[in-house]
Structure 1
Amino acid sequence: MGAQSSLQLEMEGLEDSKQVRRAENGPTCIVLRPTAEDPTKTRFTWLLSIDLKGWLPKSLTDQVLSQSQADFAQHLRRHLDSNTAACAC
């Protein structure tokens, strides 16, 4: 099993301004663990908490973020499938 987590830190001098809006990154976590049915397969769980703080409606940015997560998972699956074929593990 593997896990990764992150949390936003505040840094002096990098506050919002009229020219720049800084997104807020809440607790984020990725967990990889073998499935109970097939230990050669991995369950990928990604919890994402982010507020882009832009002028777009939050409902739209939430939809785009969830789609980008799905796209990432699909590209990761393709990448791993292509590398598994080349690996003699």
Structure 2
Amino acid sequence: MDKGMEKIGDLFVQKSKKPSSRPQAPAYAWQDLALGVIKELNIPDFKRSAVFKVCKLRPRVYVEKCLNDTKELCQTGEKWKYFFKVAAGGAKNRNS
């Protein structure tokens, strides 16, 4: 005979026993691009939001070009700093 739930605590126990689902995929293509840049350049946690902003505001082709330029030109040092310099360089040219 099925007794069902006897205590209110059973709700929480059943909920915690469910297998955890895998992380959700990014909702937008620019988020996926940003995650790729973060992974390739080992962007530190405190700069992750800046990568998302660049990928959201700039065209995908531009961000990919900045990433490729960074990988080609910056052989030593922190590549993520160079990436932001390259990405910011386009802002000066665009406004003039």
TM over 0.5: no
Instruction: Specify which structure has the higher proportion of helix.
Output: 2
Larger RCO (alpha carbons 8 Å, 6+ apart): 1
Q: Give TM-score, length-normalised by structure 1.
A: 0.29
- Structure label with greater radius of gyration: 2
Instruction: Specify which structure has the higher proportion of strand.
Output: 1
